[in-house]
């Protein structure tokens, strides 16, 4: 069974909501540093399903579908970069930060997409761990540089929980046409 675009869209919207959702009062403060990086997980899901699922943002920016893979890739990168700006507004972070991070993730996933599609779940979980960890280290570096945010273990904790959550996304992603084609 292949996932419909609606399901993927709902998963992405759900990830946005989870990314900013206020935890219940009984959740201790220290646990907040373990919140998974829902936005990056949603981004990985989206990019891995390109070009079969382009998403509402892609269609909103580019009204007509691309004519070839190269054009689709360039347009997708631009859509991902713009999605990063939306994330900046969502998280209240410096403009351009998430655009750069999202574009780097999308470039990596696109570059190795066929190889990634053939990996086992464990290998993909390791890939997610490294991806989220490096992304969060870069984010922490920029926030330390611009806002004086202290260095903490958050990149590690966020990467760990994101890795543990990934199988839920992976289950959806493995049913996608992109994955079927690679196999």
Which CB sits closer to another protein, 122 or 153?
153
Is residue 48 within 8 A of residue 76, CB to CB? The reply is no
Give yes or no for residue 134 binding another protein (CB under 8 A).
no
Instruction: Measure the CA–CA gap between 8 and 18, rounded to whole angstroms.
Output: 15
Give yes or no for residue 78 binding another protein (CB under 8 A).
yes
Give yes or no for residue 28 binding another protein (CB under 8 A).
no
Give yes or no for residue 100 binding another protein (CB under 8 A).
yes
Closest C-alpha among 117, 107, 109, 104 to residue 170:
117
Strands (E), 20-95: none
Q: Which of 50, 72, 75, 99 binds another protein (CB under 8 A)?
A: 99
Give yes or no for residue 33 binding another protein (CB under 8 A).
yes
Q: b/e per residue, 101-132, with b = 16+ CB within 10 A?
A: bbbbbbebbbeeeeebbeeeeeebbebbbebb
Give yes or no for residue 19 binding another protein (CB under 8 A).
yes
Count CB-CB contacts under 10 A for residue 144. 13
Query: Cβ 137 to another protein, closest distance in Å?
Result: 14
Q: How many of the chain's residues bind another protein (CB under 8 A)?
A: 42
Give yes or no for residue 168 binding another protein (CB under 8 A).
no
Give yes or no for residue 1 binding another protein (CB under 8 A).
no
Instruction: Measure the CA–CA gap between 43 and 104, rounded to whole angstroms.
Output: 11
Q: Which of 126, 152, 168, 180 binds another protein (CB under 8 A)?
A: 152
* Structural Rg of the chain based on CA atoms: 16
Q: Which of 26, 68, 148, 153 binds another protein (CB under 8 A)?
A: 148
- Contact positions toward another protein, by CB under 8 A? 16-22, 29, 32-33, 35, 77-78, 81, 84-86, 88-97, 99-100, 103-104, 107, 142-143, 145-150, 152, 154
């Amino acid at each position: 069974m292949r996932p419909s675009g609606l399901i993927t869209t709902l998963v992405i919207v759900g990830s946005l909501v989870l990314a900013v959702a206020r935890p219940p009062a009984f959740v201790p403060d220290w646990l907040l540093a373990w919140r998974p990086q829902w936005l990056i997980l949603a981004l990985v899901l989206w990019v891995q399903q390109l070009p079969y699922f382009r998403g509402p943002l892609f269609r909103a920016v580019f009204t007509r579908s691309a004519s070839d893979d190269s054009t689709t890739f360039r347009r997708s990168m631009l859509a991902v970069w713009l999605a990063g700006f939306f994330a900046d507004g969502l998280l209240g972070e410096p403009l351009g930060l998430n655009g750069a991070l999202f574009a780097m993730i999308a470039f990596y996933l696109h570059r190795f997409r066929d190889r990634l599609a053939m990996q086992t779940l464990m290998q993909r979980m390791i890939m997610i761990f490294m991806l989220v960890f490096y992304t969060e280290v870069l984010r922490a570096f920029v926030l330390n540089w611009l806002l004086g945010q202290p260095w903490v273990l958050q990149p590690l904790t966020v990467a760990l929980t994101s890795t543990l959550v990934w199988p839920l996304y992976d289950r959806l992603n493995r049913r996608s046409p992109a994955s079927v084609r690679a196999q």
